[in-house]
Amino acid sequence: MMEVRCERCRTLYEVDDLQVDEDGLTIRCAHCGQTFRVRKKSFVLTETVNPDEERVSLKKKDTQQSGWMVRKQDGSMQMFRELTTLQKWIVESRVSRDDEISRTGNNWKALGTISELASFFELVDQAASGKKLGAHGPTTEPLFSVKPSATGTGYPATAAPPLGPQVSAPGQGFVPDSTVNRTSPLPSLPPRAQSLPFVPESSSPAPAPGLAGLTAGAAPQTGGLEAGPQSWSEGESVVSSAPRDNVVEKWAKRGRRKMYTFCALLVLLAALGGWYLLRPDSFSSALGLLLGKQKEVTPEMALVQSGVAHALKDSEEELAVAIRDLTQAVRVSTLPEATIALAGVYVARAEHQLTWVGDWMEEISSINQMIFPLMNKPAKSLSENDRLLISRMVKSREGITTRLSEGDTKIKKDLDESRRLLESVRVRAVRDPSWLATRADLLRVKRAPRPEVESQLREAELVDPENPLVWMVRGALLGEEKAGVDQAIEKLNQALELQRKASRPDMVRARYKLAWLYAFQNKLEFARDQLDLILTQSPKHELATHLMEKINNPPEPDAAPPLAEPPPQAPPPRTATPKSGVAAPTSLDGWMKTATSLSRKGRFDSAIAAYDAALQLDPENAQALNGKGLVYVDMGAFQKAIAWFQRALMINEKSADAIMGIAESYKYLGDKEQAMEYYRRYLESFPDGVDAEVARRNLSQLK
């Protein structure tokens, strides 16, 4: 409610806030006849309205019409527009039967004489006296749903007639109370009576039919309580009435708004719940940022974070520190992320060793190509320099072979430890994207069948499609085939971008793979850019330093083969062999026959050199690749054998020698799962093959 005063006579009025719309509310003072308008501003504003403007205002839409006025016995005025407002005032005892009502202020009628309001006053009287409604047949209708009887009374048929004077007939006039001083303004408003509780129903009922005259737009009726406003204020000319407030529609709209709000909140809660279940770490981090709180870092979690930070630098020294910190975290806690991170570091270190093994194998091939022609010469024809060169090369090859053997042992140990760690947290982390990606990386480094690696990656992508480790492993897997190098570069760049968006340290391991692939494509400038970034973050990165040296100092044509697979080169020069009277081979078949013969005689180094000479003529000859792998099996270098067999499978995925050779190599390495996998693969492709019986027998023994 707001209080306003007439500027001429200073009479005080109370106006319902809801009656004042954007265009204001026009009021005529009942004492002096002054007309003024009330606007809803930051303060109450009244202004004088001339008669012409008043006539225009009275012809406006219903929303701009003034309502009804109630004059109390003490002279104060109250304004209302809706019937529900008057009903509320009666129930709250803010008005009484002796108070008068008028629309224009010219003719007044006591509220107690209006039969439609009698039932409301009776309820107030009964509540005040402590009586119950049982004597009059209590109604079960809501407070504002009083329905007229068939005879036209404004209250239920079983209820007692209202107290106070009655209107004898619809449309009957009345004489205002002459005792009320209408000209003396009130200095202040009297205290209000204690009001009864007013609780609206869930949807406001329609007003009583007999009171329809109080609402806007009600046309006068011709009988009973349907007489409307003329029975309230006889003689008044109503130009237009206030618009009817559709209470039912208002409450229906409010209910719909509540329903929409509830549905939106329900969807939001479901989304938050799914986020928490799928990514609890991300949810907790976001919640901490939202609340302005940093997640408390426990000593165990600090060890994990330290280990991961060192592992991301990817050098041999940093990986050793990461293993130390993460091993301690695993010992003092049960955090699955510590175990998964430690398994990933072991995989990364094993891949480092595999990279060195590949380089060492290239060095041995280069040495064999250099000394093979000399070794085929008769001893008498060798000069002193030739003998010194052969001696030096043989010693160098023996040293490299020793490193190869040690590298194979380290690779097997690290991969076994990684597999053990992942299996230890399988139950708790089987749906963790980091666990799935790390296991896929382990299978890739172990040269597991490609479908098995792909299966793990697909599961990880379903759980977290933006995990940088998933993209890195995907890129590394694609980069193992010539046809997938471009896609591999794209995936690795995406992994680095996701790592950057997550505000995490750079993933040096992915960047090194990217540099290697650029070098493979002979895009040396791109490779140098990546290597410069790596050495800036991790100056002791041995592989990056070694690759940079290869790029800046390319080998001579007759030296070791370049980083990428070389184009076919001319075979070694033809050398006479007086003892046998046969010259060195010049064709692919000749080198293959020589390599096979040397292998059968146990001259493995010479056999490998002969296979290398054959591969110089045809780098994608699967038979030469398989032959070299079989020589390494005979030498006990099973990891190197697997590498050459895998290269053969890239050229011919149905190569029986390659599949069987990998199975045998894994068997000797003690990796039963991988051995059984390749034995089954052999039997599926060659159920009646030469080695089918051997594969079945080994399968039964390994089970």
The DSSP-derived string for 150-179 is TT--SS-TTSPPPSS---SSTT------TT
Four-CA torsion 149, 152, 155, 157, nearest 10 degrees? -40
What CATH number should be reported for the domain holding residue 636? 1.25.40.10
Quick one: pLDDT at residue 579? 36
Domain boundary among 254, 280, 306: 280
Quick one: pLDDT at residue 575? 35
Asked if residue 167 and residue 26 are part of one domain, the reply reads: yes
78 beta partners: 14, 70
Instruction: Please name the amino acid found at residue 167.
Output: V
Let me know if residue 428 belongs to a domain. no
Asked if residue 20 and residue 148 are part of one domain, the reply reads: yes
Report the alpha-carbon distance of residue 393 to residue 49 in Å, rounded: 116
Asked if residue 34 and residue 24 are part of one domain, the reply reads: yes
CA 639 vs CA 377, 411, 415, 603: distances in Å: 33, 8, 12, 20
Asked if residue 251 and residue 231 are part of one domain, the reply reads: no
Quick one: pLDDT at residue 49? 56
The label of the residue with tokens 């165990």 reads 300
Let me know if residue 153 belongs to a domain. yes
Domain boundary among 280, 303, 325: 280
Radius of gyration of the chain (CA): 49
Classify each residue of 261-296 as buried b or exposed e, where b means 16 or more C-beta atoms within 10 Å of its C-beta: eeeeeeeeeeeeeeeeeeeeeebeeeeeeeeeeeee
Asked if residue 255 and residue 186 are part of one domain, the reply reads: no
Asked if residue 261 and residue 211 are part of one domain, the reply reads: no
Domain boundary among 280, 306, 331: 280
Q: 3-class SS at 585?
A: coil
Asked if residue 6 and residue 154 are part of one domain, the reply reads: yes
Detail the DSSP E strand segments found in 175-230: none
Which is it for strands 109-110 and 100-102: parallel, antiparallel or unpaired? antiparallel
Quick one: pLDDT at residue 153? 41
Report the alpha-carbon distance of residue 568 to residue 566 in Å, rounded: 6
Asked if residue 17 and residue 99 are part of one domain, the reply reads: yes
Report the alpha-carbon distance of residue 62 to residue 53 in Å, rounded: 16
Quick one: pLDDT at residue 294? 53
Quick one: pLDDT at residue 451? 87
CA 522 vs CA 68, 290, 566: distances in Å: 92, 48, 11
Alpha-helix runs per DSSP H in 279-383: 280-291, 299-313, 316-332, 336-375
Question: Which of the residues in the chain have pLDDT under 70?
Answer: 40-66, 130-251, 281-282, 285, 288-289, 291-297, 375-377, 555-584
Asked if residue 181 and residue 134 are part of one domain, the reply reads: yes
Asked if residue 259 and residue 173 are part of one domain, the reply reads: no
Q: 3-class SS at 639?
A: helix
| Interacting residues of 436 by C-beta distance below 8 A, sequence separation 6+ | 456, 457, 459, 460, 463, 470
Asked if residue 241 and residue 254 are part of one domain, the reply reads: no
Summarize pLDDT for 206-225 with one digit per residue, the tens.
444 333 333 333 333 333 33
Number of domains the chain is built from: 3
Q: How far is CA 412 from the centre of its chain?
A: 38
Asked if residue 252 and residue 119 are part of one domain, the reply reads: no
Quick one: pLDDT at residue 247? 57
Mean model confidence pLDDT for the chain: 74
Report the alpha-carbon distance of residue 154 to residue 210 in Å, rounded: 6
Domain that holds residue 270: 246-280
Which tokens hold the place of 95?
Answer: 């008005």
